[in-house]
Amino acid sequence: MSLDYVKSTPGFEKFMPKDYRDLIDHGPFGKKVSVSQVGTFKEILEEHPMCAGCAMTLFIRLSLIALPNPEDTIIVGTAGCGRLAISQAAVPFVYGNYGDTNAVASGLKRGLMTRFPDKHKDVVVMAGDGGLADIGFSMLMHSWFRKEKFTTIMLDNEVYGNTGGQESGMTNIGSVLKMAPLGKKFEKIDMPDLARTAGCAYVALVVPNNPKRVEQCIKKATLIAREVGPTYIQAYTSCNIEYAIPTDKVMEDAKNVENDRYQFKEYISEDAKQYLAEKWGYKEYAKKAIQTTEAAK
């Protein structure tokens, strides 16, 4: 939960694995790193057992790089592919039971706000489409209704990838999967609009096709969640096993899907825009705020 916990006891450094020593000496803790500097510093994500070429891994990797303060962040997850990689990162990871991720995160955030009133401690929920839109749906919606101040990131692979290919609420209509041989009969749940209606201050729909954009979205969402209100990011992270995408075509598929049905969408509430402009120096929102007030006059 802070850099002091990561550092090893003086005199014991030589007994730590090289990866760990690299992380302390060359890691992103306490520094400002960006996606364009990747490859020149040690990342907080380590080797993990996820499939080769998985787009979800790419998204998790980018979002861990983009966290504004990884040393002051706790990630809450649940069963699903995502936790295989998230649990291998040097960020505290809480393994919530299926369905209660957002309830756990609510309590965690409230506790941290009481314990550290003078510091920002970020809580990020990162779970799959099944864990959030199907099984965890009621907890998810209620955490938004209560305006709990944390970020929810959905890793939307449009299938239950870990259990053999059952359809989820986020699967597209008509998709034929191993465990859904007749094709899905219902429309994909429109989570971004639900999030907006439920009172999220920031909602974004991204594809890991554009690392800089992913970074910007994660940064904004975490910062807004500190003081303004709940934030939600939905990312298309294709399952190349269940949808039979060759690993070297994963980015091509992401590009096609982005053009087809996953266009970049971003909603920021006026309060959040003002907060970003005043506290974190986002110039684009400062200008817009002035323009809208001028137009109102």
Partner 1 sequence: MYLVANIDPGICGATSCTLCTQFCPEANTIQYDKERKTAFVSVDRCKGCAQCVWVCDNMAKHHAIKMIMIDQLPEEFANKLTKNMSYEQENLKPSPINK
C-alpha closest to that of 121 among 94, 83, 82, 156 = 94
Verify binding: residue 45, partner 1, rule CB under 8 A: yes
From 25-33, 125-133, 172-180, 270-278, give the range in contact with partner 1 by CB under 8 A: 25-33
* 223: Cα separation from own chain's centroid: 13
4 near partner 1, rule: CB under 8 A: no
Q: Which of 77, 122, 83 lies closest to 102, judged by CA?
A: 77
- Tell me the torsion sign for CA atoms 283, 152, 53, 47: positive
Residues paired with residue 152 on neighbouring β-strands, in sequence order? 125, 232
Task: Establish if 36 lies at the interface with partner 1 (CB under 8 A).
Answer: yes
- Give the one residue of 251, 266, 274, 289 binding partner 1; rule: CB under 8 A: 251
- C-alpha to C-alpha distance for 167 and 118, rounded to whole angstroms: 44
Q: Are strands 73-77 and 202-206 parallel, antiparallel or unpaired?
A: unpaired
Task: Please tell me whether residue 178 binds partner 1 under the rule CB under 8 A.
Answer: no
**Structure tokens of 75?**
């990630």
Which residue from 8, 13, 15, 26 is in contact with partner 1, where contact means CB under 8 A? 26
Complex with partner 1: residue 195 or 217, whichever CB lies closer: 217
Residue whose tokens read 């998204």: 59
CA 243 to chain centroid, in Å, comes to 22
Q: Which stretch binds partner 1 (CB under 8 A): 35-43, 92-100, 199-207, 259-267?
A: 35-43
Count of residues in contact with partner 1, rule CB under 8 A: 42
Determine the Cα–Cα distance for residues 92 and 115; give it in Å rounded to an integer.
17
Q: Choose between 10 and 39: whose C-beta lies nearer to partner 1.
A: 39
Give dist(CA 68, CA 238) in Å, integer.
Answer: 26
d(CA 258, CA 192): 15
| Residue 51 C-beta: closest distance to partner 1, Å | 8
Near partner 1 by CB under 8 A: residue from 6, 63, 66, 72: 72
Report if residue 21 touches partner 1, rule: CB under 8 A: no
Smaller CB separation from partner 1, 14 or 32: 32
Does residue number 53 form part of the binding site for partner 1 (CB under 8 A)?
yes
Each residue 117-136 as x (binds partner 1 by CB under 8 A) or -, in order, gives --xx----------------
Handedness of CA 274, 278, 281, 287 (dihedral sign): positive
Note whether 115 binds partner 1 by CB under 8 A: no
Among 20, 21, 22, 175, binds partner 1 (CB under 8 A): 22
Q: Does 54 bind partner 1 (CB under 8 A)?
A: yes
201 contacts 231 by C-beta, under 8 angstroms: yes
Q: Does 61 bind partner 1 (CB under 8 A)?
A: yes
The residue among 26 and 261 lying less far from partner 1, judged by its C-beta, is 26
Looking at 65-73, 106-114, 133-141, 170-178, which segment touches partner 1 (CB under 8 A)? 65-73
Of the candidate residues 68, 137, 172, 213, the single one contacting partner 1 (CB under 8 A): 68
Helices 283-296 and 270-280: crossing angle, nearest 10°?
130
Paired strand residues for 233 = 153, 204
Point out which residues bind partner 1 (CB under 8 A).
22, 25-26, 28, 30-33, 35-43, 45-48, 50, 52-55, 57-58, 61-62, 68-69, 72, 119-120, 211, 247-252
